[in-house]
Amino acid sequence: MKLALPPGIFNPNRPFQPSRSRIFYGWIIAFAGTVGIICSIPGQTMGVSVFTDRLIDSLEVKRTWISFAYLVGTIISGFLVSPMGRWLDRHGLRHGAVISGFGIGAALIFLSQVDRIAAGISSIFPTTWELGFKVLAVTIGFFLLRFFGQGLMTLASRNMIAKWFDEFRGRVTAISGIAASFAFSVTPLFFDWLIVGIGWRMTWLSLALFCGLFFALFAWLFFRDNPEECGLLMDGGVKPKEGRRINQDNRVVRQFTKSEAIRTYGFWIYNLALSFQGFFITGYTFHILSIADDLDLTREAVLGAFFPGAVLAIFISLLVGWLIDRTRLKYGLVVFCVGVTLIPVGLLLAPHSYSIWVLIAGLGLAGGSFAPVIGTVWARFFGRRELGAISGLNMSSLVIGSALGPIVFSLSYDHLGGYRPAIVLGVVCGVLLIFGSLFAGNPQRKLQIEEGNDV
């Protein structure tokens, strides 16, 4: 059956036909999707955190109010990401990517002028309302930034890669994750260098031009929803070598709807594990210097753990990507959960010298396995028909978890005498997730058993 192609400028054969590419267009898709993930950085926590002190100084508000604005903006965006995933299923990832580019550009322009906007509105109201307008303006800016950056842009880019690959999905998402991880690791230093050189306003405006206008045009040029609409096949039609054992975990027997997916154990254990990583890592990085002081660790040691962790993540990502293409995906989840657990374990062992090495191991295992696991699981477990709706629900959970993490750490510090209670909570949750991941079977395998085709 011939697919009905969208009319106008979003026709997949405009401005060129992917089927005429000299190489399989999926490799261009992998590159384009990786660029999309990297362009989402201004909407990620590490991209925002560099600007926090500048906003505090410019708005003349306490840090608590900026944190509150970030929390509210992130939670609201988290609740809206899930329905946006279903919208992507109906209207296409290419549409969503272009919209996300314009959206994040508008958010960055708004935030670059947020103090002036708040001051302008406040000037026509009583002075007692001034603080409220400042917090409201920043909340709106954070909401737009998180929704279009961390939410829509990341979702469209990651799902597009998953739709173009099957046999090679684990390895491709692993390579994409390595490139994105490297970009994420240098972002704080690069953004800070820009701020020192041209100021925080011009930095945000420059990012609006690159991550907004440039990316919107880039996405329209190179993004395509799936290979079928371009007259192509997943993996370029490449089949496993003759005689090689076929990985039954890759075989999709039935396309699941979102309502069917959320009734499976597999969805919830992966969703909880990935969301917990967002919860704990965001809470840890948001308070990282204060945590170092509380645990009697040097700031240099805590900050320095990220680089060797990133190096280790490169090898872990390639290993996990190779592993999940050839065997069950749950083994990749086990590696991920072990890494997520070792991070709070390393912190709990502080200030012993070996605690940093445990922390590095955790950062490497969790960081390296994150991209291949999240980039593979939803398409492999539930098919591609409602991929946006299913992965959108997961992204919504992840965003909300990342919003709650800093607050839980703050409450632990303010009311329980330090960060150790929050860290203990992280260890307990991590151990439970490791145990739960051992039973995280692919729902498609149950269908294969019913057909008598499981091996």
pLDDT at 413 (0 to 100): 84
Confidence bin at 244 (pLDDT 50/70/90): low
pLDDT at 133 over 90: no
Confidence bin at 424 (pLDDT 50/70/90): very high
Q: Which amino acid, one-letter code, is at 87?
A: W
Is residue 9 within 8 A of residue 215, CB to CB? The reply is no
pLDDT in tens, 396-412: 898 888 888 888 888 88
pLDDT in tens, 214-231: 999 999 999 999 999 999
108 exposed, middle or buried (CB, 10 Å; 0-12, 13-18, 19+)? buried
Range list of H helices, 244-296: 258-261, 265-286, 288-294
In whole angstroms, give the CA distance from residue 226 to residue 233.
9
Percent of the chain with pLDDT over 90: 39
Is residue 12 within 8 A of residue 229, CB to CB? The reply is yes
- The residue count of the chain comes to 455
pLDDT at 297 (0 to 100): 86
The larger pLDDT score, comparing residue 1 to residue 195, is at 195
User: What is the enclosing helix (H) or strand (E) of 141?
Assistant: helix 130-145
Q: Which amino acid, one-letter code, is at 242?
A: E
158 exposed, middle or buried (CB, 10 Å; 0-12, 13-18, 19+)? buried
Radius of gyration of the chain (CA): 22
Q: Which residues contact 368 (CB under 8 A, 6 or more apart)?
A: 177, 181, 312, 313, 314, 315, 316, 317, 319, 320, 339
The larger pLDDT score, comparing residue 22 to residue 46, is at 22
Is residue 400 within 8 A of residue 79, CB to CB? The reply is yes
Phi, psi for residue 350 in degrees, rounded to 5: -60, 150
Distance, CA of 145 to chain centre: 14
3-state secondary structure 291-305: HHHHCCCCHHHHHHC
Q: Which two tokens stand for residue 339?
A: 């890494």
Mean pLDDT of the chain: 86
Q: Sign of the C-alpha dihedral, residues 35, 36, 39, 42? A: negative
Instruction: Supply the DSSP string of 59-106, one letter for each residue.
Output: HT--HHHHHHHHHHHHHHHHHHHHHHHHHHHHH-HHHHHHHHHHHHHH
pLDDT at 428 (0 to 100): 97
Q: Which SS3 state, helix, strand or coil, does residue 246 take? A: coil
The larger pLDDT score, comparing residue 392 to residue 201, is at 201
Q: Which residues contact 158 (CB under 8 A, 6 or more apart)?
A: 33, 37, 173, 374, 375, 391
Confidence bin at 247 (pLDDT 50/70/90): low
Q: Which two tokens stand for residue 264?
A: 């499976």
Confidence bin at 386 (pLDDT 50/70/90): confident
The larger pLDDT score, comparing residue 300 to residue 58, is at 58
pLDDT at 2 over 50: no
Q: Other CB atoms closer than 10 Å to residue 453's CB: what's the count?
A: 12
Is residue 183 within 8 A of residue 71, CB to CB? The reply is no
Percent of the chain with pLDDT over 70: 94
Confidence bin at 354 (pLDDT 50/70/90): confident
pLDDT at 383 over 80: yes
pLDDT at 100 over 60: yes
Domains and CATH numbers, the chain: 20-237 (1.20.1250.20), 256-441 (1.20.1250.20)
Distance, CA of 223 to chain centre: 19
Is residue 398 within 8 A of residue 151, CB to CB? The reply is no
pLDDT at 221 (0 to 100): 96
